[in-house]
């Protein structure tokens, strides 16, 4: 049986309506279900090709994915290529890498190369993964799986250092937090509103952050180490990509921003000073509090942040920038404002999702109100028992459930820590309950992986106070003391 007479030909034919439908988004088509539908169709066609994809960081981690493909010339080959591009994008923003390896038909290789040159969203990915993050030329390499680099994760025991007098900080889009910590105990914490994305002078950012550090230092007898977290991509505490500096002109960014935290370190006498992505510190804080590994942290704030702690309790060199990883394959999925791509996580699990869903829920908002203000409006309606608000939270929870199904194709986890202002209050309970419903009913797991992965996911949450303190302690614990 060659399958061509009955085989669907376009990607649209493989977009599966979720069994647990989001109340306010009838068009939602989970990317994970599309991948599985196409693989099953290829398997049943009798003409499936075993392919493989990988992304490689320069000299570091390699992440791979096996794929079932239709051969060149098959009516559904174009759908295979479209799915593979989505898989590669997921690997790029989960794991990170400047080189893509492809074991598959020639047309797939050429289509991927074309995408990263000719398509706006592809060019953005290539630029970010090439020059911006890894300082290398982005490339797509064709090779048989036997010639792929060995799959490996670069891990470190970063964090869990609680001795001495430390400062921990977290830089968000709307506020910056600092804490003074003595032997693991928070003796001072502070949260100051700010709007860094509107300021184009790196000196302004430097001064604001240093001001917060000095205010925390006033509550310590000395400062032995400083650890911090911030939205963006950081390599060895160097700033590579960060939305906090979006207003800084490219030349000014290149000249001053990457080494900004190195400047601060020397301003503090060269003490240990470590900064990582905020999602990683969120995950580390959850792993420290729950004494678990194999944990994926999800923070739903102004955007979507994520972090991962291995089963051995280590952080990795992976990017975990799930704000840009696709979770929806619907043709008219919302567009990410930064990358210009459709269906990416930030539009589904953040304040951006709240702002997008108010109108479909029938909730009127002031056109001039900010996303944080719209979230407050939603929370007030939810506290009053408004069913419209419940539908917003139910929709976000559905998104989370299907996103987690997809994330498990990349990450090895059975613990999930969910944090952020979007899941604060009664609405957060609805989000988690809905996600659990998805995991239990639509697809507990890909049957092919069920033998090697647990069939359940344990959700962890913390109070806002514990979250703030836990995040501060985890950030402060990042650097070890030099003996």
Using pLDDT thresholds of 50, 70 and 90, give the confidence band for residue 2.
very low
pLDDT at residue 1, as a whole number: 34
* pLDDT tens digits for range 182-215: 998 999 999 899 999 899 999 999 999 999 999 9
Rounded mean pLDDT of the chain?
90
Overall average pLDDT of the 36-57 stretch:
93
Overall average pLDDT of the 371-391 stretch:
96
For the chain, list the domains and their CATH numbers. 11-152 (no CATH), 160-483 (3.30.420.40)
- CB within 8 A of 198, min separation 6: which ones? 247
Using pLDDT thresholds of 50, 70 and 90, give the confidence band for residue 452.
very low
Please check the confidence at residue 3 and state whether its pLDDT lies above 50: no
Please check the confidence at residue 391 and state whether its pLDDT lies above 50: yes
Please check the confidence at residue 418 and state whether its pLDDT lies above 70: yes
Using pLDDT thresholds of 50, 70 and 90, give the confidence band for residue 443.
low
Compute CA distances 19 → 26, 220, 395, whole Å.
11, 54, 13
Overall average pLDDT of the 75-103 stretch:
96
Q: Which residue in the block uniquely carries the two structure tokens 């937090």?
A: 177
Lowest mean pLDDT across 8-22, 272-286, 459-473: 459-473
Overall average pLDDT of the 394-419 stretch:
95
Beta strands 175-182 and 185-193, pairing class: antiparallel
Question: Among 232, 283, 220, which residue's Cα sits nearest to residue 260?
Answer: 232
Please check the confidence at residue 364 and state whether its pLDDT lies above 60: yes
Using pLDDT thresholds of 50, 70 and 90, give the confidence band for residue 278.
confident
pLDDT at residue 4, as a whole number: 39
Please check the confidence at residue 444 and state whether its pLDDT lies above 60: no
Compute CA distances 122 → 29, 78, 128, 166, whole Å.
21, 17, 10, 42
pLDDT at residue 286, as a whole number: 82
pLDDT at residue 284, as a whole number: 84
> What distance in Å separates the CA atoms of residue 169 and residue 410, rounded to the nearest whole number?
29
- CB within 8 A of 27, min separation 6: which ones? 330, 332, 333
- Is there a contact between 350 and 356 (Cβ–Cβ < 8 Å)? no
pLDDT at residue 8, as a whole number: 53
Question: Among 321, 300, 463, 332, which residue's Cα sits nearest to residue 397?
Answer: 300
pLDDT at residue 464, as a whole number: 62
Residue 308: beta bridge partners?
Answer: 296
pLDDT at residue 279, as a whole number: 84
Compute CA distances 134 → 90, 128, 379, whole Å.
17, 8, 40
- For 135, phi then psi, to 5°, come to 65, 30
Please check the confidence at residue 314 and state whether its pLDDT lies above 90: no
Report residue 195 CA to chain centroid gap: 22
Lowest mean pLDDT across 77-81, 221-225, 235-239: 235-239
pLDDT at residue 163, as a whole number: 93
Question: Among 276, 289, 327, which residue's Cα sits nearest to residue 419?
Answer: 289
Using pLDDT thresholds of 50, 70 and 90, give the confidence band for residue 389.
very high
pLDDT at residue 256, as a whole number: 94
Please check the confidence at residue 455 and state whether its pLDDT lies above 60: no
* pLDDT tens digits for range 328-350: 999 999 999 889 999 999 999 99
Question: Among 192, 235, 309, 230, which residue's Cα sits nearest to residue 58?
Answer: 235
pLDDT at residue 483, as a whole number: 61
Joined together, the tokens standing for residue 135 give 């300082």
> What distance in Å separates the CA atoms of residue 443 and residue 201, rounded to the nearest whole number?
49
* pLDDT tens digits for range 135-158: 999 999 999 999 998 888 777 777
Helix 464-476, helix 278-290: angle, nearest 10: 100
Using pLDDT thresholds of 50, 70 and 90, give the confidence band for residue 451.
very low
Using pLDDT thresholds of 50, 70 and 90, give the confidence band for residue 285.
confident
């Amino acid at each position: 049986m060659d399958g061509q007479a009955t085989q669907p030909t376009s990607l649209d034919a493989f977009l599966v309506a979720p069994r647990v439908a989001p109340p306010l988004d009838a068009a939602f088509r989970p990317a994970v279900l599309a991948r599985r539908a196409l693989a099953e169709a290829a398997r049943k066609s009798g003409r499936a090709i075993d392919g493989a994809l990988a992304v490689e960081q320069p000299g570091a981690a390699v992440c791979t994915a096996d794929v079932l493909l239709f051969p060149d010339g098959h009516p559904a080959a174009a759908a295979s290529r479209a799915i593979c591009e989505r898989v590669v994008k997921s690997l790029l923003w989960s794991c990170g890498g400047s080189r893509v390896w492809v074991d598959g038909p020639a047309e797939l290789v050429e289509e991927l190369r074309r995408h990263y040159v000719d398509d706006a969203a592809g060019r953005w990915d290539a630029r970010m993964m090439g020059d911006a993050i890894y300082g290398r030329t982005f490339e797509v390499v064709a090779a048989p799986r036997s010639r792929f680099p060995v799959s490996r994760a670069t891990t470190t025991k970063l964090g869990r250092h609680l001795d001495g007098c430390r400062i921990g900080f977290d830089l968000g889009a709307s506020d910056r937090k600092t804490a003074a910590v003595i032997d693991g105990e928070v003796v001072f914490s502070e949260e100051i509103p700010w709007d860094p994305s509107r300021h184009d002078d790196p000196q302004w950012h430097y001064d604001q952050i240093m001001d917060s550090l000095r205010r925390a230092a006033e509550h310590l007898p000395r400062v032995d180490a400083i650890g911090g977290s911030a939205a963006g991509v950081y390599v060895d505490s160097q700033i590579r990509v960060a939305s906090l500096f979006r207003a800084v002109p490219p030349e000014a960014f290149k000249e001053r921003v990457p080494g900004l935290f190195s400047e601060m370190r020397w301003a503090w006498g060269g003490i240990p000073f470590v900064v990582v992505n905020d999602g990683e510190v969120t995950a580390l804080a959850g792993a420290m509090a729950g004494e678990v590994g194999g944990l994926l942290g999800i923070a739903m704030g102004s955007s979507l942040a994520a972090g991962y702690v291995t089963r051995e309790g280590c952080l990795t060199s992976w990017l975990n920038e799930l704000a840009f990883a696709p979770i929806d394959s619907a043709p008219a999925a919302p567009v990410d404002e930064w990358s210009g791509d459709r269906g990416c996580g930030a539009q589904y699990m953040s304040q951006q999702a709240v702002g997008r869903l108010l109108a479909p829920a029938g909730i009127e908002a002031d056109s001039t109100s900010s996303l944080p203000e719209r979230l407050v409006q939603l929370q007030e309606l939810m506290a009053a028992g408004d069913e419209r608000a419940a539908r917003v939270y139910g929709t976000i929870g559905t998104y989370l459930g299907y996103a987690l199904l997809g994330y498990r194709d990349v990450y090895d986890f059975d613990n999930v820590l969910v944090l952020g202002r979007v899941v604060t209050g009664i609405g957060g309970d609805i989000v988690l309950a809905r996600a659990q419903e998805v995991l239990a009913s639509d697809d507990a797991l890909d049957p092919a992986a069920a033998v090697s992965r647990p069939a359940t996911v344990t959700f962890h949450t913390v109070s806002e106070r514990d979250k703030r303190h836990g995040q501060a302690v985890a950030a402060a614990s990042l650097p070890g003391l030099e003996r």
